[in-house]
Amino acid sequence: MRVNENYKNLDESYLFSTIAKKVKEFSEHNKDVEIIKLGIGDVTQPLCHAVIEALHSAVEEMGRKETFKGYGPEQGYDFLKEAILSYYDKNNVSLDLDEIFVSDGAKSDLGNILDLFDKDNIVLIPDPVYPVYVDTNIMAGRKIVFIDANENNGFLPMPNNSVKADIIYICSPNNPTGAVYNKEQLSVWVDYAIKNEAVILFDSAYESFIDDKNLPKSIYEVENAKKCAIEFCSFSKTAGFTGTRCGYTVVPNELVFNNSSLNKMWLRRQTTKFNGVSYIVQKGASAVFSEEGQKQIKQNLDYYKRNAKVISDTLDKLGIDYTGGKNSPYIWLKCPNNMNSWDFFDLLLTKIGIVGTPGAGFGNNGKNYFRLTSFNTLEKTQEAMERFYELFK
């Protein structure tokens, strides 16, 4: 038996363990300091009432002989897919029911989709980036070409026509930078992908944070995107499902490469290797799209957005450069005095008891940047940013 040697090429993931270790050490020696975490990448507000009601009633159904459900369709129940379809419809994107695949979250699908592609494809990934795109391709032994996201391009890199790529990752609104592509920029990417016969893997896990009506929530708002893009979406950040687990992936029927339909291949892959998301969770997820559900998740999203504004207002007052904070739960700031992101991490922790995430953990271009998130409480975010202001004013 031989193991997959590609795993040896993965970098150890030291980021969150190193942060936890440093925080533990500091708090042991400074028991009087209240540490505030603005590095949280997880939601903190509970599931909304409409979802809880739907979950309860689905549990009741599972306990009665007449309404009990066994295996469901691997690609998701129609009631949820129809709700997703009408959500897209509201954004003027029309999809067919068989183009939607329900899953246990975007992370699994982002990893699993690679089953459809040959190992010898060239993968284009922005730097800095959500590390899952990089690691899943390293595991498969694929060649990665990085594209710089930096101050000069507002952390929104555009294609370089002299670089040939087959699989392109785009995350908008972006984790970690909070930057969001507009339609014109995405349409340049779509044209590039079509010209290169490439596929775009578009991660829209944070689309529900977009308030600006001019910014696209879905890549399919761009003409011809159905010819080249797969879209990954999630209830995690939209509706607090990080622990409940549900997401969906759109694989348009128009995606045909070398006479192979990616939609049919993905259906075959999912029906072979996946047995669907639980009926109970899908009922909860469909309640997100009800009138009540939409109002209630908006309250939670508005809460996080208000925190983001507390952070970005403070940075504005201090004249510190950043991206994100609007249309995104993330604020990506330039470390003052060109500090390295780990030194900046230590400074914030030891001087004011604030924890964030060093940009170096997301790629080389993050080494002088720092990610703050809006997922803590309003009170703690305000307190943290008061301390931050006092330190840097």
Query: Residues interacting with ligand PLP, by CB under 6 A?
Result: 41, 105-107, 130, 171, 175, 203, 205, 234, 236, 242, 247
Minimum distance from residue 330 beta carbon to ligand PLP (Å): 9
Minimum distance from residue 244 beta carbon to ligand PLP (Å): 10
Nearest CB to ligand PLP, comparing residues 157 and 247: 247
**The pair of three-digit structure tokens given for residue 261, joined into one six-digit string:** 């339909």
The CA distances from residue 53 to 79, 267, 283, in Å, are 16, 31, 10
- For residue 300, the tally of other CB atoms under 10 A from its CB is 20
Nearest CB to ligand PLP, comparing residues 104 and 383: 104
Minimum distance from residue 249 beta carbon to ligand PLP (Å): 10
Instruction: Output phi, psi for 338, to 5 deg.
Output: 55, 30
Nearest CB to ligand PLP, comparing residues 41 and 336: 41
Interatomic CA distance for residues 195 and 273, integer angstroms: 32
Asked if the peptide bond before residue 173 counts as cis, ω within 30 degrees of 0, the response is: yes
Rg (Cα) of the chain, in Å, rounded?
Answer: 21
Nearest CB to ligand PLP, comparing residues 173 and 353: 173
Nearest CB to ligand PLP, comparing residues 137 and 236: 236
**The pair of three-digit structure tokens given for residue 125, joined into one six-digit string:** 């990934």
**The pair of three-digit structure tokens given for residue 349, joined into one six-digit string:** 């922790």
Q: Identify the burial level of 8 via C-beta atoms within 10 angstroms of its C-beta, where 0-12 means exposed, 13-18 middle and 19 or more buried.
A: exposed
Strand stretches in the chain, DSSP E: 36-37, 100-103, 122-127, 143-148, 167-171, 199-203, 229-234, 247-250, 256-257, 260-261, 322-324, 330-334, 354-355, 357-358, 369-373
Interatomic CA distance for residues 204 and 317, integer angstroms: 31
Minimum distance from residue 239 beta carbon to ligand PLP (Å): 11
Minimum distance from residue 152 beta carbon to ligand PLP (Å): 23
Interatomic CA distance for residues 218 and 328, integer angstroms: 15
Minimum distance from residue 179 beta carbon to ligand PLP (Å): 12
Minimum distance from residue 106 beta carbon to ligand PLP (Å): 4
Nearest CB to ligand PLP, comparing residues 55 and 129: 129
Nearest CB to ligand PLP, comparing residues 130 and 279: 130
Nearest CB to ligand PLP, comparing residues 196 and 286: 286
**The pair of three-digit structure tokens given for residue 306, joined into one six-digit string:** 């208000």
Minimum distance from residue 274 beta carbon to ligand PLP (Å): 14
